[in-house]
Structure 1
């Protein structure tokens, strides 16, 4: 008996037809929910009786009183393996990517590391309005220090609410009476940050959010297929190496997940309903219908057929496993 002819994998063709019809010059980036990156002193272990730093007290207060903000907070410790895993070989590129995806960058000047972070971020012209720097009042009021007269003065001149002075907490005390206004400054600055922006193909944060939406539409998708989608839109500035760094960033800030099946890595959105980029009018002047496009893509591999290719079957099985992962997270 003759074998059943192999059915062509329609997934790549459907992706091509969708993304060639998109014009990135009409895209709008959606920053909500806003991402906050917080640098500063140490975060104590559970064995410590009291919070070890201002940063830790801010994180604890956000968790108790502003959970919607805390859920989108990123700390430097999340990226402790960025060098070991070879994702970033250049610290400056890493810092720039963080700055571009964050709506607010909070720096508590309470450690040597935080001084380095401040030095890196304050040199980015595009991030000065995103910075919120907490400085101990005893090192600011009336003190002609280099940091007060130099970088902080420059930052304050460009954005008056970017530098705030407070008495810092005592790590040996359970109480800190200033925590409410301290966090109030953070909330106020975060809420005043832009909600949207015109898509800029040269901005790595905008590219990262676009990659997220490509993944969200096309879950589960392989790395090379993401590149193909970007190329179909006319975005050819990313190579596979650079894509890997932005995928690493998206995974670390919790927007993207990765599932390895066989020898292949598949990527998926951790919040399937989340949209970070609005596509606007398509090239054929139609409105982009996200829901219908997702259905169209899913139909290329979710409907089991005799003679289907292994690539189709694997994608369907990976989707089932991803559904189980997402169900477990809800």
Structure 2
């Protein structure tokens, strides 16, 4: 294929059609699902996205704790790098409130399909999300109040973004 050239304003349609066919063939050969690997940085990034989706608003230390509880011990530097990339591709965003940073998803989508628990029960993402929300909504301590206020601000921010689009 001819490489893009700023001097060339138009390419032959045969080249473009052939390129499109090849891309579609490559995409159709890629598996739709893949076994999770904690050594795959892309898998880790999507797991972080799923944790943020389930637990938003969530802080960095809580993301680390969630990963550790899943047996994934990675450095804060790697988590921060994943978060930076996830923000750049528009999967998540951050809200600064008081001295805290809260991460939240921009797209409501299931990124990771969890298997079963040790008791052989299916993990229900929506039920898990509700349990997390209930864990701080009913509390009256200052940290929970901040998180509730952050959640309200996130909801308002998302609603404003939807109105613009």
Give TM-score, length-normalised by structure 1: 0.46
Taking the TM superposition and a 5 Å limit, the aligned residue runs for 1:89-128 are none
Taking the TM superposition and a 5 Å limit, the aligned residue runs for 1:2-151 are none
Consecutive unaligned residues in structure 1, runs of 5 or more: 1-165
How far is 1:203 from its partner? 1.2
Alpha-carbon deviations, 1:15-49, whole Å to 9, x = none?
xxxxxxxxxxxxxxxxxxxxxxxxxxxxxxxxxxx
Alpha-carbon deviations, 1:201-228, whole Å to 9, x = none?
1111111111111111000000000111
The aligned residue for residue 56 of structure 1 is none
The reply on whether 1:299 has 2:131 as its aligned counterpart is no
The reply on whether 1:321 has 2:153 as its aligned counterpart is yes
How far is 1:264 from its partner? 1.2
Higher helix share: 2
The aligned residue for residue 288 of structure 1 is 123
Q: How many residues align structurally?
A: 160
SS of the counterpart of 2:123?
Answer: coil
| CA–CA distance in structure 2, aligned partners of residues 169 and 242 of structure 1 | 34
Higher strand share: 1
How far is 1:173 from its partner? 4.9
Judging changes above 3 Å, is the alpha-carbon distance between structure 1 residues 224 and 170 closer, same or farther for their aligned structure 2 residues? closer
SS of the counterpart of 1:259?
Answer: strand
Greater RCO, 1 or 2 (C-alpha within 8 Å, sep 6+): 1
| CA–CA distance in structure 1, aligned partners of residues 52 and 94 of structure 2 | 11
Consecutive unaligned residues in structure 2, runs of 5 or more: none
SS of the counterpart of 1:266?
Answer: strand
Taking the TM superposition and a 5 Å limit, the aligned residue runs for 1:149-188 are 166-168=1-3, 171-177=6-12, 178-188=15-25
The aligned residue for residue 206 of structure 1 is 43
Give TM-score, length-normalised by structure 2: 0.87
Q: Which has the larger Rg? A: 1
